[in-house]
Amino acid sequence: MTLDIILRTGIEVMLCFVDIILLDFYCGKLATKKDIPTPFKAVVAILTAGLLYFATNTLYSNEGTIFSLLLMLTYAFVLFEGSNTKRVFAVFGYYVLSGIVTLLVTSLASWIFGISYVELLQQFSVWVVVALMIKLVMLMIGIVLSTTLLPTQTRRENLIGIAQYLGVSFIVLVLLYDYLFINALTHIENIIILMTLTYVVSFALILALITRYFKEKNERMLMESALFEANQKNEAYIQSVQDKIETAKLKHDLKNHLITLQSFIENDMNEESLRYIQTLHALPELKSYVNTNNLTINAILNSKISSYPNIRFKVRHDEGRFAIPHDKLTIILGNALDNAINETLLYAHDPKEIQIVISENHQYIKIYIANKISHPVTMVDGKPINKSGKRVGLGVGNILDAVKFLNGRAMFTSEGDTFQFKALIPLSNKQRIK
C-alpha cells in the first residue's frame, strides 16, 4: 500500500469521524446521553466511523445508504436515552438535512470552480475541501437550531461539539497537505502558507473556545455559590422556625406533665410518680443520646440522631472539652453530618449507619465522620466530585473555610463505597475569637 493510498484512506476515515461527531451533536439536542464511561463512548464512535467508511466506500450505493442509516440509528440508541421517537427523528433529521446541504454546497462548488459534479468527485483535494465545507455548514445549522429552537441546551454542549469538530477537521487538513505535497499538486511554498494559516486559525479558535468555556464555568460556579448561600439562609430560617415550634410544643407538654406529677405527689402516689418520670425519660424529645463536655456537639448530635431513627449513629468521644468557637463548630460538624445523612439515605443497602469519632489530645482536636455512598466519588483540588463533574455535598466550601480559619486541616477521602471526612484542629485555637 502506497503512502498516497494511506493518506486518502486516513482522510476519508477522518471525514466519517466528523460525521459521527455531528450526528452526536444533533442527537444531543433531542435526547439525553447515557451515563456510561467515556472510553466506551470513544470506542463506539471510532467503531461506527470505521463501519461508516466501509459502507460508503465498499458497498453499492443503495446498500451503503441503508447500512449507513442503520449505523447511525444504532449509534443513537446505544449512546442516548429517552424517547425512541426523538432519537429516530434526530437521526433521520440529520440524514435528510445532510443530503440537502450536500446538494447545495456541491452545486455551489461546481459553479465556483467551473467544473461538473463528476469532475469535482474525481479531484480528490477539491472533494475534501467541499466535504469539510458541508460539515461546517451542518455544524453551523446545528448551533443555530440549538440556540433558537432549543434554548434549554447549554453553551458547554455546543462548545464541546465545536471543539471536537475543529480537532478532527484540523487532522484532515494536515493529511490533505501531506497528500498535496507527495503528489506535487501544489507548490511547497503554497503548502507552507496554507499549513501556517491553518495552524494559526485553528489554535486561535481552540484558545477562544477554551477561554470562553472557563469563563462560563467560573460564572456558573459563582451563581451556584450564590444560590447555595441563599438556600442555606432559607434552610436556617426554616429550621429556626421549626425549632421554635417544637420548643413551644415541648413547653406546653412539660406544663401538663408537671400538673400530672403534682397531682400524684399531692395524693401520695409515689410509685406512680416514679413510673411517670421514667416514662418521660424515654420520650425522644427529652432523651439525650450523646453527652460530651461540649454543649454545641451535644445539641447537634442529639438533634440529628433523634431526627433520623432509621440511621444507626455509632458515636465515640473522649473527655475532651473540644473548645472550638460555636459558630465554626456548627458549620463544620453540622454540614459534614448533613452530607453524611443525605448520602446514607441514598444508600440502598442495610445497615444504614454513620460513624462519628470526636477526640482530643494535647495538640489536636480530631473530628472523623464515615458513611456509605451509592456512587463513585473522586477528589479534585481536595473537594469531592462525582462522575458528572458536580461537587458532592452541601457546604463543602464552608467546611473547608471554617477549618482553614482555625488553622486546621480537613480531608475528604473515598475508599470503595465508604466516604470519610477528617478534620484536625490545633488546640491553640481554643481561645481564638472570630
DSSP states along 251-276: HHHHHHHHHHHHHHHHTT-HHHHHHH
Q: How many Å apart are CA 120 and CA 219, to the nearest integer? A: 47
Task: Note the pLDDT of residue 106.
Answer: 83
302 and 154 inside one domain: no
Give the global pTM. Answer: 0.47
From 186, 201, 218, the end of a domain falls on 186
Q: Supply the pLDDT for residue 429.
A: 45
Q: Which amino acid is at 18?
A: V
For residue 357, CA distances in Å to 201, 288, 310, 315, 420 come to 58, 17, 20, 6, 11
Q: What CA–CA distance (Å, rounded) separates 27 from 150?
A: 12
- Would residue 334 count as lying in a domain? yes
Does residue 12 share a domain with residue 150? Answer: yes
Could you write out the DSSP letters of every residue in 112-176?
HHT--HHHHHHSHHHHHHHHHHHHHHHHHHHHHHHHHT-TTS-HHHHHHHHHHHHHHHHHHHHHH
The pLDDT assigned to 356 comes to 93
> Half-sphere exposure of residue 424, counting CA atoms within 13 Å on the CB side?
6
- Domain boundary (161, 186, 211) is at 186
Residue 104 within any structural domain of the chain:
yes
Last residue of a domain, one of 186, 213, 243: 186
Does residue 289 belong to any structural domain of this protein?
no
- Omega into 351 within 30° of 0, i.e. cis? yes
Residue 211 maps to a domain: no
Residue 304: closest CA among 345, 264, 257: 345
User: Three cell numbers at 124?
Assistant: 480528490
Give residue for cell 433521520.
Answer: 92
CATH number at residue 418: 3.30.565.10
Does residue 13 belong to any structural domain of this protein? yes
The CA-atom distances, in angstroms, between 50 and each of 9, 101, 407 are: 11, 23, 57
Residue 288, in any domain of the structure: no
Domain membership of residue 360 (yes or no) is: yes
Enter the DSSP assignment of 428: G
CA distances from 56 to 9, 69, 165, 289 (A): 12, 11, 20, 72
Shared-domain flag, residues 182 and 319: no
Pairing state of beta strands 353-360 and 312-317? parallel
434 residues of the chain, pLDDT tens digit each: 577 778 878 888 888 888 888 888 888 878 888 878 888 888 988 898 888 888 776 544 556 678 888 888 898 899 888 788 888 888 888 888 888 888 888 888 778 767 777 777 677 777 777 787 888 888 888 877 776 665 444 555 566 667 777 777 777 777 777 777 676 655 545 545 555 565 566 666 666 766 776 777 677 777 766 666 666 666 656 666 566 666 666 666 777 777 888 888 888 888 888 887 777 666 655 556 788 888 888 888 888 888 888 889 999 998 888 989 888 898 899 889 988 998 888 887 888 899 999 999 888 899 999 998 877 777 666 677 655 545 555 578 888 888 999 999 998 888 878 899 999 999 864 444 34
Same domain, 182 and 51: yes
Q: What pLDDT is attached to residue 252?
A: 65
For residues 377 and 321, the answer to whether their CB atoms sit within 8 Å is no
Other CB atoms closer than 10 Å to residue 83's CB: what's the count?
11
Question: Closest Cα to residue 394, out of 326, 342, 348?
Answer: 342
Nearest residue to 172 via CA among 140, 207, 136, 142: 136
The Cα–Cα gap between 8 and 172 comes to 10
Structural domain of residue 345, as residue ranges? 295-429
Q: Are residues 37 and 165 in the same domain?
A: yes
C-alpha cell at 144: 443555530
The verdict on 14 and 163 lying in the same domain is yes
Mark whether 163 and 299 lie in a shared domain.
no
d(CA 402, CA 328): 6
Residues 33 and 181 in one domain: yes
Looking only at the bridges linking them, the beta strands covering 32-33 and 80-81 are: antiparallel
pLDDT at 152: 46
Residue 410's H or E segment, with its range, is: strand 409-415
Considering the domain architecture, whether residues 38 and 173 belong to the same structural domain is answered as yes
Q: Give the total number of structural domains in the chain.
A: 2
**Mapping DSSP to helix (H, G, I), strand (E, B) and coil, where does residue 92 land?**
helix
Are 174 and 299 in the same domain? Answer: no
Report yes or no on 278 lying in a domain. Answer: no
pLDDT of res. 59: 46
